[in-house]
Structure 1
Amino acid sequence: MIQASQVVKMAGGQQAPVLGGCSLELGGSGLTAVVGPSGAGKTSLLYCLSGLDRPDQGYVGINGTDIYSLSDEKRTRFLRDNVSFVFQQYNLIGYLTVEENVRLPHALARKRVDSSAVEDVLSRFGLWEKRAARVSTLSGGEQQRAALCRAILMRPSVIFADEPTGALDTANTDIVLRVLRDLADQGCSVVMVTHDVESAALADRIVFMRDGVIAQTTGRLSVDQILHTMARLGGGLHA
């Protein structure tokens, strides 16, 4: 369960807020796509929902916990135990190996992880043979797959993904989207920011944003329905 109520986020030097009072409730599992034109506030909303950026006003709850009422230490621990992140920039450590990067969140949390689970997830993404390679030597698609392995291994209840396919070719895009869809079907709540209309069409819920507010929330829509809704709301996506 992800809940947000009247979330406001200001930015330095700007009179208008980046987020102008966003309220949202995402219950249970499923894939949610957050869409809208550039500058609509999609990533800002994702960061506030995920605990990465404190809003200036409003409430954000994950699984019934008011995450911004927690101390920094408790919030970090709560997010580590419940949330994983997948970003377009991958956020891997280049001088570590693939396996070391995948194991890193467990190491930081001082938790043991079954080696067979590591092998299973790396094999699933075709990375087991490259487990000892430094991630700086991998292609962009391989790095994104490694980032997904790291996120999945934590077995979170929520995954936040910020443009996870924005820099990928078609083959790697298909892999990433299929995995996110599978995770949502298996009980995880996945929230994905995307500019790609075909990616959005895979979602169970679509949140349309415009000028820092949530303009509309719908269930699953076809590509044509998404494009029609965006045109009506005055913004566009990439077909």
Structure 2
Amino acid sequence: MALHQAISPAAPRIDADQIVKVPTGGVGQPPILRGVSLNLSGGGLTAVVGPSGAGKTSLLYCLSGLERPDQGQISINGTNLYSLADEKRTRFLRETASFVFQQYNLIDYLTVEENVRLPQALARKRVEAAAVEEILSRFGLLDKRAARVSTLSGGEQQRAALCRAILIRPSVIFADEPTGALDTANTGIVLRVLRDLAVQGCSVVMVTHDVESAALADRIVFMRDGMIAHVTGRLGADEILHTMARLGGE
């Protein structure tokens, strides 16, 4: 398949092999993920799309180390995530990956700058003040650095969450509906940054319902009923909708 030029052989490699995830306490219920295998070598921006209940978020959480699959293996750059002890897996992911969620996951009683610095502080790593200022300025939050996040708008909170995610210079970013609650202007800001990171060699894996967002991706993974229905390179928004309809999606 032909992929956009952002795909790089040197970029991080993410592999999933026969991933099965069953509902918690869901005896007799169908699996959420049904033997999913996926290779995301080459980096770039990958969009995971499909109807509600297709297993998109469960796949993202398994790929990112947030949820252990019931069967199968997941590796990042050859490291099998779930063969590691919990502490080692946490340390590996802290040094390798960042997460961007629709819910922001900021701490209300901390300032914007304190939230942005938090992952590095927990890892006991020093961050240059100039690096923090540069990233806050890039997202238009420099004048909000001392503000409590509870005083920010939703768009400002998502931008703060994105600052926190990329300050550590991760090789992989996992994003779950990162623009789902944003207006058009803030959606554009977030997507431009994710696109730029992908071009710079970061692997970005994004779950989205928004076909306009998915149209910016180098690779599109279509899911349905807990399985991967199709994987393709870059498509326009209309082509994504047509493909979803052809595959029986929304």
TM-score by length of 2: 0.94
- Does 1:163 find its partner at 2:181? no
Whether 1:32 aligns to 2:46 is yes
> What residue number does 1:77 align with?
91
Taking the aligned partners of 1:22 and 1:178, their CA distance within structure 2 comes to 29
Number of residues of Structure 1 aligned to a counterpart in Structure 2: 236
Q: Answer yes or no: is 1:142 the counterpart of 2:152.
A: no
User: Partners in 2 of 1:145 and 1:162 — Cα distance?
Assistant: 14
Q: Tell me how far 1:195 sits from its aligned partner.
A: 0.1
Report the Cα distance in structure 2 between the residues aligned to 1:88 and 1:197, rounded to whole angstroms. Answer: 17
Quote the residue 2:113 is aligned against: 99
Counterparts of 2:77 and 2:152, CA distance in 1: 36
- Residue matched to 2:62: 48
- SS of corresponding position for 2:109: coil
SS at match of 1:4: strand
Aligned residue number for residue 152 of structure 1: 166
Q: Residue in 1 aligned with 2:129?
A: 115
1:187 to 198, 201, 206: 201
The alpha-carbon deviation at position 128 of structure 1 amounts to 0.5
1:52 alignment partner AA: L
Instruction: Give the match's secondary structure for 1:6.
Output: strand
Instruction: Measure the CA separation in 2 of the matches of 1:150 and 1:199.
Output: 21
Post-superposition offset of 1:29: 2.1
> Residue in 2 aligned with 1:6?
18
Match of 2:211 in 1: 197
Shift of 1:63: 1.1
Q: 2:229 aligns with which of 195, 212, 215?
A: 215
For 2:145 and 2:159, the matched residues in 1 are separated by 12
Counterpart amino acid of 2:39? E
Shift of 1:10: 0.3
The match for 1:67 among 58, 77, 81 is: 81
Segments of structure 2 that go 5 or more residues without pairing to the other structure are: 1-12
**Cα RMSD (Å):** 0.6
CA deviations 1:51-77 (Å, max 9, x no partner) are 000000001001110000000000000
**CA distance in structure 1 between the aligned counterparts of 2:98 and 2:170, rounded to whole angstroms:** 6
Is 1:15 aligned with 2:29?
Answer: yes
Cα shift readout 1:70-126 (whole Å, capped 9, x = no counterpart)? 000000000000000000000000000000000000000000011100000000000
d(CA) in 2 for partners of 1:28, 1:63: 11
Q: Which residue of 1 aligns with 2:9?
A: none
Percent identity, please: 82
Give the deviation of 1:28 after TM superposition: 2.5
| TM-score, normalising length: structure 1 | 0.98
Q: In the TM superposition, what is the alpha-carbon distance from 1:207 to its structure 2 partner?
A: 0.3
